[in-house]
Structure formats: C-alpha cells, structure tokens
Chains A and B, each alone.
Chain A
Amino acid sequence: MSTDVMIQASDLSKRFGHVRALDKVSFQVKKGEVVGFLGPNGAGKSTAMRILTCFLSPSAGSATVHGYDVFDDPLAVRRSIGYLPQRAPLYTDMSVIDYLRFTSEIRGLSPATFKKRLGTVIEVCGLAQVMTKDIGTLSHGYRQRVGLGQALIHDPPILILDEPTADLDPNEKAEVIRYIQEIGRDRTVLLSTHNLSEVEQACARAIIISKGKIVADGQLEEIRAKSGGIRYVVAVDGQGAEGDQAAPGYSDLEEAFGKLPGVKHVRELRTEENARRVEIAGPPDADLRAEIFRLMVARGWTLLELRRDAQSLDAVFRDLTKADEALDRGREWDEAVAAGPADEDDDDDDDSEDDDTDAASAAEPVAEAAEKR
C-alpha cells in the first residue's frame, strides 16, 4: 500500500504571524486518483499546495511526495510533480515555445525528449495556434493552457493544479476540465478550486478544507451521504383518478411515507396543477424507491414521478464551511469597528476568544456587586 501513496501530508501546520493558515492537516492521495481540494477563499488550499511543492516550509508536521520528503529532498519532490500556481504566472515576454523549452531545459530534458513530449503537450493542451506568440498577448484561457503545458512537459506522475479554472469563461472552463479529465487518466492529480461543479465533473474524491482544517475527506458519494442523507421526490396524481379511490391529501402522504424505515421527515413541495409533490429525507445507506412504489400500489395512488438524489455537493459544501464563514465575517466586522481602521484584521481566533472571556470575567464582579446592593 505504501508504494501506492503518492502524496502524504501528516499534521501539516503553517502560521503566518498570528494567522494560522493550516492547522494539523493530514491527508493521502493514492496513485491514479484525481482529488479535488475544496474550500472557500483563504481556507489554506494554496498554502497546502505551496508546502507540497516546497515553495514554503510547514511550521510543523511533515509531507512526502512520491516518497520524497519535502524537507530532505525538495529537488526530487519538484522533479516528480508538475505544478500550476494560481493564475498561471508566466514570463509574459517569452513566446510559448521558448517558455516550454526553458522549463524543459531546467528540468534537464534532452532536446530529443523535449521534441517528443512537445507534440503530446501541444495536442493535449490545444496550443498549436499560439506556439510562436508572446505569452503577454494571450488570453487568460490560453495562458492557463500554457501553464498546464509546462506542468506536463516532463510527463510527471503527479500534477498539482491551483485553481486551474479561475478567471476563465464557461467555454474555457469546460475545456480545461476536459483536459484535466484526460490528463488524470494515468496520473495522480491534486486540484484546488472553489467551483463545485468542476469537482463533480473531474474528481472522484474531494478534500474539503475550511479555516485551515479538513472538514471532510472521501469519495464524493461518501461526503454527500455523511452530511445529508438521500432525498426522494415523489409526485402523486392529485385528480382522484382511478376507480373509487379518493385522491390523497398531504396528510395522507405524510402519514404513509412517514412510516417507511429510516425516514426523517416528509415535506411538501410546490404543487403543480394536478400533482402533489413531497420530499422525503431518507437514510443515507438504503434505497427506499421499491418500498415507495409498493406503498403507492397498495394504496391505489397514481405515481407520476419518483426521483432519488444524493444531496448536491454544493449544499454539502455550504453546510460544512458556511458556519465558520458567517462567524468569521461577523467577527471581522466587529473587530474592525472596535479596533478602528488602522488595525489589521488578522487576529487569531484564540486571541479574540480570550478577549471575550476577559471582558466577560471583568464584567462579572460588577454584576455581582450590583446584585448585593
């Protein structure tokens, strides 16, 4: 198993002054996996990637990439990865071909290997049109592709891509995602983004990080299941319909479906002209569709629609990270007001909590004294 682990992070922490950017982050990425690294802006995604690429050093903890330690052998680590930093910072005064040649020379590829790889890279990244143009004249989409190209030029076993689709228009985004899917077939890819639909398209597994901590890690299905369960949407014909059976009311539906095993709640949805819809929150580990159908038949109701879907990743993401965010924003504002405009808003959570308790304990004796009187 150990040979299969391409990226291993153990208890990585990183502090920037008072700000704790990463707090004991541990994860593994195995060979052949495409993993989405998700989180709101400022959650620590880029910091983690910079540590893995040996651009920064962790304040504590360790990491190995392709079996090489980021402290002991940074050059070997960098040799085995292709890295695309955020916003694809490239030398704008160089032409695309010169830039690719430059990176391949630094990576020590022979001219023959470079030629061979160049063909593949041009094809995979769609660079044929722009090879002789200056990078400064290219659109963001093309720069991103050139960035991907330089990450692929040495055929690395591991790719680390930091927000490869930021700043792109929807067409370009779709294309980059397609490249990543293609590239990811025979490589290990760690990809950061705050765009969830991309993760759903390109990745099988996601690591969700919020405020420097990992809040979820697993297959997309697992993450969905853990944090929400599965929801069923049922539409029943509301016109009365067949034979002598009366049309069911909401109370009937609620009563009937509520008895199914593991159902948490039944909720009315928007009514259409001749259909009554309910949403049923089912248990995460079972499929109730067959039972719902049998129940409908037994009651003689007419089924118009039955849909089972896992909670969308969007909702999961918001659930997992929103609480922190809301808290954060509120506090930032309070602090800003309290401290005045000159103060920076990078105070640690610990500090502010301490402040709160201090204020509370300071206020207590006053209250007690007031009571005694």
Chain B
Amino acid sequence: MTPTLTIAKREFRSYFDSPLAYVVICLSFFGLGLFFFMYRGGFWQLDRATMQPLFEFVPAGLAMLVIPVVTMRLMAEEKRSGTLEMLITLPVKDSDVVLGKFIGAFGLVLTIVTATLLYPVLMFKAPWNLGPLDMGPVWSGYLGLVLYAAAAVSVGLLISSLTDSQAVAFFVTFFVLGAFWFSGNVADHLSGASANVLHYVSFQSRMSGFMRGLIDSRDVVFFLSITILALVVAFRALERRKWA
C-alpha cells in the first residue's frame, strides 16, 4: 500500500475510533430529515416526485456543519500535538501527507453523501413508492454533490493547514464555505461586475445545474479546479515549515 493510502486509511479510521464520526453522522441525518420533510412544508409541499430539496439541503449542511468539523483537525491538530513531525519524518513526501489526509476526510464525507441515497431508495422503490422518480437528475445531482464535497473538503484542509488551532480552523472554514454557498444570494441584491463575480464563484449557482439534471462541463471544471488549487496551496503551506 502506498504511503498516501496508508495515511488516508489511518485518517478515515481515526474518525471512527473517536465519537466524532458517529456524532456527525447522526446529527446530520437528523437535521437533514427535519429540513427535508418539515422546513416550509418540505417535500410534501412540492407535490412532485423529486429529490431536488435533498440537493439544496445536503450541500448547505455539509458546508455549515459536517465539513468544518471533519476537516478542522486534519493539519491543525497534528501541528499542535507535534505528531506532524513524527509523520513527516517517516519516508513520506509532503504531497503524500496532504493527499492522504484529503482522501481520508473526503472518504468520511462520501460515506455520508452515499448514505443519503437511502432517501430516494426508501421513498421511491421500497418499502414506499411515492411516484415515478426521474433518476436522471438524481444521478447528476449526486455527481454534483461529490464534486462539491471534494472542493469543500480541500478548502477545509487548506484552512486547517494554516493554523494550529482547531477552533480557528472550524470557524474560518464555516465562514468561507458559507460565503461561497450564499454568495449567489448576495449577488442577487447587487449589480455589475461584483454581482457577476459572486455568481461565478457561488457554489449554490454551480450546484443548481446538477440539481436539474444538467451536467455542465464548466461546473465540473470549476469544482475540480477549486479542489486542485486548494490542495496545492495546502501542500505549499506544509512545505513552508522548512523555511520559516
């Protein structure tokens, strides 16, 4: 097994060795259920066989709760406790560390995203059959979710690698991801170039295509670019210790 995967495996397992993973999964599903079925009448009010609310609530929930909690400790905790020195002086490249940690955290987020598949399955296949669900937008929505989650996790990892305080990492990630998510709403109140920019970077507007079953290559490239960019910057931040 390559060092990257070994690090990823350890990272993923350590979520389940602590109560963190269980707490996050339980609470996020509780919250999702509440919003999906209750918020402003929720799913019932729509009166359609659609999963669209899922793709509105899940990314917002990931940005506001799950991803900041999952990524806050990735680098910050290692730096604070000194284990980073132990890890890096093993024969691993700095890129192995960044990528391994990204894969580990992304794995946990993917687990949660995958588990939300229970919604369409339970509601529209068995035991309930609430109507004929068009699976196209569901699959494209999930593709969007996965891409979005990758971008958000890498942003969280980047922020965690800039500080050695988990609390700071949590709040900054919370704020940055929230800003990316709601920047589209802000843009609606503005006009001109700033509105265009805010619309352009808004995760929400990027997700809306996927929700409706539209896979736009620009959106795919946008999320992938954010992911790669954040990982490269996180790698640089880790390398900086050598010269500081």
Contacts and interface: CB of A to CB of B under 8 A. Distances in A.
A107 B81 CA distance: 22
A57 B242 contact: yes
Given A75-B93, A93-B14, A102-B10, A85 B82 contact: yes
Interface in B86-103: 86, 88-93
A85 B86 contact: yes
Contacts of B90: 78, 103, 106-107
A91 interface: yes
Interface string B207-240: 0000000000000000000000000000000000
Given A56-B242, A94-B14, A89 B83 contact: yes
Interface stretch (A47-55, A261-269, A345-353): A47-55
Interface residues of B, number: 23
B91 A75 contact: yes
Nearest to A105: B6
Interface residues of A, number: 29
A107 B91 contact: yes
Contact of B86 (A57, A75, A89): A89
A90 interface: yes
Interface in B10-56: 10, 14, 17-18
B82 A56 contact: no
Given A78-B90, A83-B89, A102-B6, A16 B82 contact: no
B17 A94 contact: yes
Contacts of A54: 89
Nearest to B1: A105
A213 B242 CA distance: 21
B7 interface: yes
A89 B85 contact: yes
A93 B83 contact: no
B37 to A, nearest CB: 36
Contacts of A86: 82
Nearest to A162: B85
B243 interface: yes
Given A78-B89, A85-B89, A107-B90, A93 B18 contact: yes
A308 interface: no
B83 A91 contact: yes
Nearest to A81: B89
Contacts of B18: 93
Contacts of A89: 81-83, 85-86
Contacts of A105: 1, 6
Q: Which of A57, A85, A94, A105 has the most CB of B within 10 A?
A: A105
B193 interface: no
Contacts of B1: 105
Given A91-B83, A106-B7, A55 B14 contact: no
B167 to A, nearest CB: 19
B6 A55 contact: no
A90 B244 contact: no
B16 to A, nearest CB: 10
A51 to B, nearest CB: 9
A78 B6 contact: no
Contact of A16 (B83, B85, B244): B244
A20 interface: no
A264 B1 CA distance: 67
Contacts of A53: 89
A57 B243 contact: yes
Contacts of B6: 102, 105-106
A55 B91 contact: no
B243 A106 contact: no
B14 A91 contact: yes
B3 interface: yes
Nearest to A99: B10
A24 interface: no
Nearest to B94: A74
B241 interface: yes
A237 B85 CA distance: 61
B7 to A, nearest CB: 7
Contacts of A55: 85, 88-89, 241-242
Contacts of B17: 93-94
A187 interface: no
A89 B18 CA distance: 18
Contacts of A87: 82
19 contacts: A16-B244, A55-B88, A55-B241, A75-B92, A83-B86, A83-B89, A85-B82, A87-B82, A89-B83, A89-B86, A90-B83, A92-B81, A93-B17, A93-B18, A94-B17, A102-B6, A102-B10, A105-B6, A150-B86
Given A85-B85, A106-B91, 20 more contacts: A55-B242, A56-B241, A75-B93, A83-B89, A85-B82, A89-B83, A89-B85, A89-B86, A91-B10, A91-B83, A92-B81, A93-B14, A93-B17, A102-B10, A106-B3, A106-B6, A106-B90, A107-B90, A107-B91, A108-B3
Interface of B: 1, 3, 6-7, 10, 14, 17-18, 81-83, 85-86, 88-93, 241-244
Of all A-B residue pairs in the complex, the 7 with the closest CB atoms, nearest first, are A89-B82, A57-B242, A78-B91, A53-B89, A79-B91, A105-B6, A89-B83
